[in-house]
Amino acid sequence: DLTTFSRCVSNLRSLRCQLIVEALSCIVHLALVKHKNLKIMSALSWMLKWSTFSLGWGCAYRSLQTIISWFRLQHYASVDVPSHREIQQALVDIGDKDPSFVGSREWIGAIELSFVLDKLLGVSCKVLNVRSGAELPEKCRELALHFESQGTPIMIGGGVLAYTLLGVDYNEASGDCAFLILDPHYTGNDEHKKIVNGGWCGWKKAVDSKGKNFFLHDKFYNLLLPQRPSMV
């Protein structure tokens, strides 16, 4: 039986099939749907496993764990999903951090994630930098291309928050867009209905119905776009 979340993903997949028609001019690009991956719960569980432990400092680490879990589920990597400590050790090993970093609660960002993905998985990444969150909707076309060609989850770092981007909904005609965000700040139980209904994984518009900006206009953002291996 499909869980609520699986049903959500399945519905999105059906929606994608309906929407990829020229008349509607609306294309939904989803990292997981493209690769027929209904094991989002596995990737989600890794994030949830460490959520309470790293409350207040570990969101970027958890986003990285979700990304690595994705690579495992796609059989691009066989390494275990690293713990926060192992992530920190990797950064020390490559010389980006001092040894005192291990065991700390220091924040990391997209650049550190790129170093760890390279070190532990041999995965290279591209970094998209925008000076302001207001520029992110303009990047939707580029992000859609990423999901079409690479399909990997994207880590967004900016302000003081990390998010994991799983897909974009981009209307070529109107330029309207929405972002499928998996929020690594969730600290509850592994209850998919609660996660979905609470908005911890869901579509976010750049400006919501109340006029509130999802991305901060006075902060820069770095987006980490992992690249799938070109050969096995």
Partner 1 sequence: MASGGKVSFKVTLTSDPKLPFKVFSVPEAAPFTAVLKFAAEEFKVPPQTSAIITNDGVGINPQQSAEFKGGASIAIVGLKCQGNVFLKHGSELRLIPRDRVGASRMVGAASLLE
Q: Which of 167, 202, 169 is closest to 183 using CA atoms?
A: 202
Question: Does 176 qualify as catalytic in the annotation?
Answer: no
**Residue 114 lies near partner 1 (rule: CB under 8 A):** yes
**Smallest gap, in angstroms, from Cβ of residue 70 to partner 1?**
19
> Which residues partner with 129 through β-bridges?
222
Residue 43 burial (CB count, 10 A): 24
CA atoms of 112 and 81, how far apart (whole Å)? 16
Which residue shows structure tokens 């760890």?
Answer: 116
Q: Which of 161, 149, 83 is closest to 116 using CA atoms?
A: 83
**Smallest gap, in angstroms, from Cβ of residue 54 to partner 1?**
8
Question: Considering CB under 8 A, how many residues would be counted as binding partner 1?
Answer: 55
Nearer to partner 1, 36 or 56 (CB): 56
Nearer to partner 1, 34 or 139 (CB): 139
Nearer to partner 1, 141 or 185 (CB): 185
**Residue 220 lies near partner 1 (rule: CB under 8 A):** yes
Tokens standing for residue 185: 């700040």
**Residue 101 lies near partner 1 (rule: CB under 8 A):** no
Please select the residue that binds partner 1; options are 1, 23, 95, 174, rule is CB under 8 A: 95
Residues 140-159, one symbol each (x = binds partner 1 by CB under 8 A, - = not), give -----------------xxx
Catalytic residue among 8, 26, 29, 59: 59
**Residue 77 lies near partner 1 (rule: CB under 8 A):** no
Which residue shows structure tokens 């897909």?
Answer: 167
**Residues 164, 155 contacting (CB under 8 angstroms):** yes
CA atoms of 216 and 198, how far apart (whole Å)? 21
Please select the residue that binds partner 1; options are 74, 202, 213, 216, rule is CB under 8 A: 202
CA atoms of 131 and 140, how far apart (whole Å)? 15
**Smallest gap, in angstroms, from Cβ of residue 93 to partner 1?**
10
Q: How far is CA 164 from CA 100, 109, 211, 225, in A?
A: 28, 12, 23, 11
Please select the residue that binds partner 1; options are 27, 186, 192, 215, rule is CB under 8 A: 186
CA atoms of 26 and 18, how far apart (whole Å)? 10
Question: Does 35 qualify as catalytic in the annotation?
Answer: no
**Smallest gap, in angstroms, from Cβ of residue 138 to partner 1?**
14
Catalytic residue among 26, 183, 192, 201: 183
CA atoms of 229 and 222, how far apart (whole Å)? 22
**Residues 52, 62 contacting (CB under 8 angstroms):** no
- Applying CB under 8 A, the residues found at the interface with partner 1 are 8, 55-60, 94-96, 105-112, 114-115, 118, 124-129, 131, 157-162, 169, 178, 183, 185-187, 196-200, 202-205, 208, 220-222, 225, 230
